[in-house]
Structure 1
Amino acid sequence: MSEIKKRFKAKIGNRTYTFVGRSSMEHMHAVTDLMNKQLNQLNQLSSSISYEDAMVLLAFNAISDQLKMQGKLDQIEKDNKEEH
């Protein structure tokens, strides 16, 4: 990752956001694409959901996935320490 912060404009749903960070442009495009895909899926499942509620659900799901992955990583690290 680069040490220089960059601005990245992302169109998510029907809104444009500007993010500042050190991630590569490829990473930011991948995140934007995945967010739009998941936002479209939420809208297809519940067409009456508001944009704000869909974004909260998207964030909730992302944090839930992050916690699950962190738990798996913690378990792998624990298992590796026990082996050595």
Structure 2
Amino acid sequence: MSHGKIRYKVTIAGKIYTIIGARPEAHLKLVAETVNEQMHQIESLSKDLDSERRAVLAAVNAVSDQFDMQIKLDELQNKVSEMEAKLKENQE
């Protein structure tokens, strides 16, 4: 294991995968459990989809959530910048 990376075996949608990453094992476990849960949710809603299509939908959901979080982060950073500017203005 180089550069602090660990190998972690997980089961997602009934198949075993090996995840390699530098994140803590607890993080990798939570990610795998979340993906597995999403795959099962998609399967329960669309039983006619094969596993590849369910995986693509799970990826689309993940990227969509990532974009939403980035928008929220940008909004918060803008608010912080505005507040810092007001604070500086009040201190002068």
TM-score (norm 2): 0.84
Write the mapping of 1:38-77 to structure 2, written as runs, cut at 5 A.
38-77=38-77
- Runs of at least 4 residues off by over 6 Å: none
Q: How many residue pairs end up in the alignment?
A: 82
* Counterpart residue type for residue 81 of structure 1: S
Kept in 1, the 8 Å contact 2:5–2:22? The answer is yes
1:48 partner amino acid? D
Question: SS of 1:10's equivalent?
Answer: strand
Consecutive unaligned residues in structure 2, runs of 5 or more: 85-92
Counterpart for residue 87 of structure 2? none
Q: How many angstroms does 1:35 deviate by?
A: 1.2
Q: Which residue of 2 aligns with 1:17?
A: 17
**Root-mean-square deviation (Å):** 1.0
Deviation at 1:33, TM superposition (A): 1.2
Distance 2:44 2:77 in 1: 39
What letter matches 1:52 in structure 2?
A: E
- Give the % identical residues: 35
Could you tell which deviates more after superposition, 54-63 or 36-45?
36-45
> Distance in 2 between the 1:32 and 1:21 partners?
12
Cα distance, 1:31 vs. partner? 1.1
Give the 3-state SS of the residue equivalent to 2:43 in structure 1. helix
| Other structure's SS at 1:20 match | strand
Alpha-carbon distance in 1 for matches of 2:53, 2:22: 28
The DSSP-based 3-state class of the residue aligned with 2:28 is helix
